[in-house]
Amino acid sequence: MEAGPPLLPGQTALYLDFDGTLAELAQSPDGVVIDESLPPLLAALAAQLDGALAILTGRRLAAIDAMISPVRVAGAGLHGAELRPEPDITIFRGEPAAATPLVRRLRKRFADDPRVLIEDKEVAVALHFRRAPARAAECREAMRAFAPPWLFDVIEGSKVVEARPRGVDKGSALRALSRLEPFVGRLPVCVGDDRTDEDGFAAAQALRGFGVKIGAGLSAARYRLGTVGEVHRWLRASLAGWAEERAR
């Protein structure tokens, strides 16, 4: 892995994770607070890239919309179970309420501990143990025991274990978007901080682009940045670079 990434070329297709990449992690998903400069930054990037900017997230896209309003961009939610090729077109790729029985079993198992957060996403479910680190192994074991393997893939993230629809991941979402306008024919760049982003890195690099890993840990990404703040500075520097090119 090389050090920091180069400034983005003008013909980039940019795929960004949200939590831990554009916004600092919090004790719970509802506790995330974004920097007020983020929405205008995303709007400027999307404009300069002719709309070829997507947020790839484990959250619902509606949750991202609420945080970055009034900006609305393309993306993939629930690791790709929601696909939005354009800001006003969302394709739902999942079985509604598929996670309901799994949520019920997990709530029964962890009813004694409010520190363990069960996030019901209807087609997926995330079990957060950031506030109960001593129960991490128990949470992982319970999810693997309760999630039907013919319906779900179980993945681990930062203080969370998640059951997502089988065969759905950020790599498949990136590949799907890369075949569509305005992403097609551009250099794919995927940026993220977690294990769930590794599929995106691999997909971008297979398409001759590159991945950028945020924070510590092993990764297949070609480049690394240390913090959310460094991500914002790199993106702003890329915007400034494009402005300089236009001024020549």
Q: Which residues are catalytic?
A: 17
DSSP string over 99-158: THHHHHHHHHHTTT-TTSEEEE-SS-EEEE-TT-GGGHHHHHHHHHHHS-TTTEEEEEET
Peptide bond between residue 182 and the one before it cis (omega within 30 degrees of 0): yes
Cβ atoms of 127 and 141 closer than 8 Å: no
Going from the C-alpha of 33 to that of each of 15, 64, 85, the distances in angstroms are: 21, 12, 26
Reading the block at residue 172, the tokens are 């498949």
| H/E element, 242 | helix 228-247
How would you classify the pairing of strands 223-225 and 210-214?
Answer: parallel
Peptide bond between residue 70 and the one before it cis (omega within 30 degrees of 0): yes
